[in-house]
Amino acid sequence: MNRLRLVGPQEQGSEEQAFQGSLRPSFLKEYIGQKTVVENLSIALEAALHRGEPMDHVLLYGPPGLGKTTLAHIIAQEMGTRIVSTSGPAIERTGDLMGVLTNLNTGDVLFIDEIHRLSRVVEEFIYPAMEDFQVDFIVDKGAFAKTIKVPLKKFTLVGATTRAGALSAPLRERFGLFYHLDFYQVEELVTILRRSAAILKVDLEEGAAQETARRSRGTPRIANRLLKRIRDYALVRGDGRANLPAAQEALAREGIDELGLDRQDRLYLRTMIEVYKGGPVGIEAMAATLNEEVDTLVDMVEPFLLKTGFVIRTPSGRRVTEKGYRHLALLPPDGSSQLRLF
């Protein structure tokens, strides 16, 4: 399977990072969607500013592409401080984190993406930094080893994760604020697309905005990515206007159907139906048949199929639902009568 999927929620390299960053809102009043999170975060920010103190440490969790990085930047912007960004896999040793922590100024935001992927040693090293704003640094070795307590300036750690359950309990407990980001509604994505189109100077018509939003899998990052493809198609093959026909043709060429499934999603469903008679089947068997890693299927393919109800997980394995059969215009194993339920 090609991991660089147009409808994949993960960021795809530095070029897309720059593109998505150019569309990122700077303040909470510009942020669209996640109403409860925005309201609660606004209260926490206002209270911190009123006290003249850094915010409590914040944990943002939820599927990729929903705005965790954007919110981290907004927190720094609203607090009038600097943001320093890194990720769990990038911090391999305690010395790497030591250099970052000692260079933070009062009130700065340290953003750690994929925080669940911190190594155990690094994770334990960060505990006193979060609690007491100091770190214990060991110098020399053996009989000459000694611990030096290095004071830090008060900062705010913003952690982002797609797997909150993978965080250890001691790390979770050191965060003061917890916010879950959920998939967006179509109308929220339409509003995001209108805003992005205005920034990109794209003439986006209402029908095209609605169609793109419906195929964006509830994810703003995917919506902006699809808008970019539609813009290019309208410029080269159309009259420059991103209208409904241009959107439909551009997305059809990319293999994205009316509900946002791409070729890899449909291959997953067809394999389960044709090879395993719709299931139940274990994820290891599916991975072997598709010649793919289990983690890739679990993290990149299954979430949307589960969300849309095309696949369910049962104690005996994965199973395609009647809805999944219907989407592929196939009959369930026990006949067409089930199709009349939809």
Active site residues: 68-69, 113, 162, 221
Helix (H) or strand (E) holding 240: none
- C-alpha to C-alpha distances, 225 to 23, 67, 72, 182, 254, nearest whole angstrom: 11, 14, 21, 19, 12
Q: Of how many residues is the chain composed?
A: 342
Structure tokens at 46: 């206002």
SS3 label, residue 84? strand
Q: Please, which residues bridge with residue 151 across strands?
A: 134
Amino acid identity of 202?
V
Beta-carbon contacts of 244 under 8 Å, excluding residues fewer than 6 positions away, are: 205, 207, 208, 211
Beta-carbon contacts of 338 under 8 Å, excluding residues fewer than 6 positions away, are: 322, 325, 332
User: Rg of the Cα trace of the chain?
Assistant: 23
Q: Vertex 158, ends 152 and 163: CA angle to 5°?
A: 130
Beta-carbon contacts of 199 under 8 Å, excluding residues fewer than 6 positions away, are: 22, 23
115-152 burial: b if 16+ Cβ within 10 Å, else e? bbbbeeebbebbebbbeebebeeeeeeeeeeeeeeeeb
Half-sphere exposure of 207 (CA within 13 A, CB side): 8
